Structure 1
Amino acid sequence: MTRFWVCVAGAGFFLAFLVFHSRFCASRLPLPLHFALKISWRPEEALYRLDVDWPKYSEYFTGATFCVAVDSLNGLVYVAQRGDNIPKVLVFTEDGYFLRAWNYTVDTPHGIFAASTPHEQSVWITDVGSGLYGHTIKKYNSFGDLVQVLGTPGKKGTGLNPLQFDNPAELYVEDTGDIYIVDGDGGLNNRLIKLSQDFMILWLHGENGTGPAKFSVPHSVTVDSDGRVWVADRGNKRIQVFDKDTGEWLGAWNNCFSEEGPSAVRFTPDGKHLIVAQLNLSRLLLTAAPPVGSIGDCSVISTIQLADQVSPHLLDVSGKTGAIYVAEIGAKQVQKYVPVKSYSSSFVCIHLEEIGFW
């Protein structure tokens, strides 16, 4: 037993000597008598951490929180929730302070998107309700005043002229005003539609199936900086990718989703990673974005495992801070995850001759 502790003490002394020697002596020794010993200080650490202080008061969540949208330009976070006799839209600051709520003409929200420019703040909501305002996509200003309605209010359908929806899941609005819509969260349609800023159909893919450019419950859509449209094809357990200008099918990812399909897709502000939510697994995946011209296979860089039955439905990412806001229908809340810095590796140079190993 004494010998064991002597060995432990000796090993500790040896490591301390290496560090001391490399710091104070190595620069005076001949280069050939050195080698680099890499010491990694990186434990298994997530790339994001939960911000337990967001929001400041969680009692404002009084229904099932289905979706969240970030207006990074103005530092606002919009949350849409379902329930009877409750405000359907809540507005917070990115710091977590509650600002206001509104409940005008929103029946059953599913997806939400904040599209803001220096000249206009707008909030788009997909409404899957069966009432007077259901089966539509509606545009509001930041105070909840209805500005525009897409679709045929109160009437679901498959028509294109006039435009009809049935359970439109989500949309993405570019700075140009072009709109990408995934229509078909279990309804009549399984399609991806691109509209111009004046609501003309530019292209669409609208067939149910498992082949390229066909869908089974298209649930979320986003656009990257390289001109590619990414669709969470939830029922087919894959992500499909299209050229935003022509609508050409570019490829698909399915190797990451053998257990469950993706329910939400959003890019980090630097465009290097695609964040994917998996509803029933209560999990977020951080995947590597492929280079231009090659979709390749899905590669998971990191995961965020949420609590059981939290059920992350849709999410959004702050363009300023990179924070992820997750709408959790199981937990009936929105949570915020912020990026953390990983530890870097350091190098220690040691001289073997002086310690008798050379």
Structure 2
Amino acid sequence: MLHWGTRTSRILGGEIEDKAFGPEGGPTFCTATNRLDLSLPGGSQPPADPLRRWASHILMAKFWVCAAGAGFFLACLILHSRFCGSPVLRNFAFQISWRTEEILYRLDVDWPKYSEYFTGATFSVAVDSLNGLVYVAQRGDNIPKVLVFTEDGCFLRAWNYTVDTPHGIFAASTLHEQSVWITDVGSGSYGHTVKKYNSFGDLVQVLGTPGKKGTGLNPLQFDNPAELYVEDTGDIYIVDGDGGLNNRLVKLSQDFMMLWLHGENGTGPAKFNIPHSVTVDSAGRVWVADRGNKRIQVFDKDTGEWLGAWNNCFTEEGPSSVRFTPDGKYLIVGQLNLSRLLFVAVPPVGSIGDCSVISTIQLADQVLPHLLDISRKTGAIYVAEIGAKQVQKYVPLNSFFSSFGS
């Protein structure tokens, strides 16, 4: 079922009145509290490009266990395995339980409230679920490289300090600190680095020598670092090599000491061809989108041991982005050129088994979803689309997606 949405905007006395036509055709109105000031050279303003709003998707995948007589037995099996059973039994019950669920998302056509702030190619997005903030990294000349919104879609601020060509962005926040990490793949004076900022864009830490690409480990040097993931403990996982000299996964401690490393160019276990995205699950496993090899590789986060790979789901195109739903049951995988998101069932413990796609979100042609992130509070998915030059938000409709914790 598709609900088409369009939106018009007009500037009123230096502020913006925005008229959004939602899925049911009824207009909604709001007035911006933030003026269009993105701190551009000479006080210039971003062009108000025509808004691209695609079809609102209500997407579902229903998998039912058809043998009615086995229903009671399956319910007992799932409950027993979840609370009393062995890891093998839990994995078996998990494979049954996800087949009885459905996943529904809809496109939030009102996010953000004013899309005119997107003035470049939007390469990545990061959600600070603790503080309700969304960071967008975009590329282009004479534009702000980082935009900051609320999860409700209000624009807060932008900054452009010491950023050359952003690729990945990650928000790592605790009760004591808000930080934003950026992988910079530029060839200029700030490129080939991984940088830490505070939430207002002040530079806090630089990993790697700015403007210098390399393969060294002491000191650590990067070449086109694609993305990173920062755990609550402060440990850092970096995939280095978006078409550069390196094809590796690096784990650093919170004080930036090397803990373990995997990688060289190749197709074998623990080798990569454009490692493009990385994430960590609650079971202590590190998942890497090995884009050029059309697979996802999995490692033990403590030892770096290779645990296996998924490739049967990616025969058409390799994965470009990986993130878990807050409950950890599904891995959301972006496929760039297919303009598609996959929901893949994840065993809770032990062996990763085979890749099983249970649902998809087919985006509009040529929007090119590059990297994505998900709110750990709401389950909303934010997708950075370099083709459409925008970030879009998808909101879960299922009851089991509506009460996530942080």
**Given the two structures, how large is their TM-score scaled by the length of structure 2?**
0.73
Counterpart secondary structure, 1:59: helix
Which among 355, 373, 380 is matched to residue 323 of structure 1? 380
* Distance in 2 (alpha carbons) for counterparts of 1:96 and 1:205: 39
Which deviations, in whole Å up to 9, do the C-alpha atoms of 1:139-182 show, x marking residues without a partner? 00000000000011110000001110000000000000000000
2:370 is the alignment partner of 1:313? yes
The 5 A counterparts of 1:11-160 are: 47-160=104-217
Are the structure 2 counterparts of residues 133 and 227 from structure 1 closer, same or farther at C-alpha, using a change threshold of 3 Å? same
Length, aligned pairs only? 303
2:221 is the alignment partner of 1:164? yes
Are the structure 2 counterparts of residues 290 and 95 from structure 1 closer, same or farther at C-alpha, using a change threshold of 3 Å? same
Counterpart secondary structure, 2:292: helix
Aligned-pair CA distance for 1:46:
5.6
Partner of 1:285: 342
Which among 257, 279, 293 is matched to residue 200 of structure 1? 257
Are the structure 2 counterparts of residues 81 and 209 from structure 1 closer, same or farther at C-alpha, using a change threshold of 3 Å? same
* Distance in 1 (alpha carbons) for counterparts of 2:211 and 2:136: 23
Which deviations, in whole Å up to 9, do the C-alpha atoms of 1:19-70 show, x marking residues without a partner? xxxxxxxxxxxxxxxx99x9xxxxxx86211011100000000000000000
Runs of 4+ in 1 over 3 A off after TM superposition: none
8 Å Cα contact 1:47/1:342 also seen in 2: no
RMSD: 1.6
Aligned-pair CA distance for 1:77:
0.1
Amino acid aligned to 1:223: V
Aligned-pair CA distance for 1:123:
0.1
* Distance in 2 (alpha carbons) for counterparts of 1:49 and 1:332: 20
* Distance in 1 (alpha carbons) for counterparts of 2:165 and 2:278: 19
Aligned-pair CA distance for 1:342:
7.5
8 Å Cα contact 2:194/2:206 also seen in 1: yes
Which among 317, 325, 330 is matched to residue 268 of structure 1? 325
Amino acid aligned to 1:250: L
Partner of 1:14: none
8 Å Cα contact 1:205/1:214 also seen in 2: yes
Amino acid aligned to 1:170: E
List runs of 5+ in structure 1 lacking aligned partners: 1-34, 39-44, 344-358
2:339 is the alignment partner of 1:295? no
Which deviations, in whole Å up to 9, do the C-alpha atoms of 1:276-324 show, x marking residues without a partner? 0000000000110113111101111110000000000000000000000
* Distance in 1 (alpha carbons) for counterparts of 2:207 and 2:238: 11
Counterpart secondary structure, 1:171: strand
Partner of 2:29: none
Higher RCO (CA-CA < 8 Å; seq separation 6+):
1
* Distance in 2 (alpha carbons) for counterparts of 1:244 and 1:341: 31
Which deviations, in whole Å up to 9, do the C-alpha atoms of 1:247-289 show, x marking residues without a partner? 0000000010000000000000000100000000000001101
Aligned-pair CA distance for 1:341:
2.3
The 5 A counterparts of 1:212-291 are: 212-291=269-348
Partner of 2:31: none
Counterpart secondary structure, 2:119: coil
The 5 A counterparts of 1:166-181 are: 166-181=223-238
List runs of 5+ in structure 2 lacking aligned partners: 1-67, 72-101, 401-406
Q: Which is worse superposed, 116-125 or 289-298?
A: 289-298
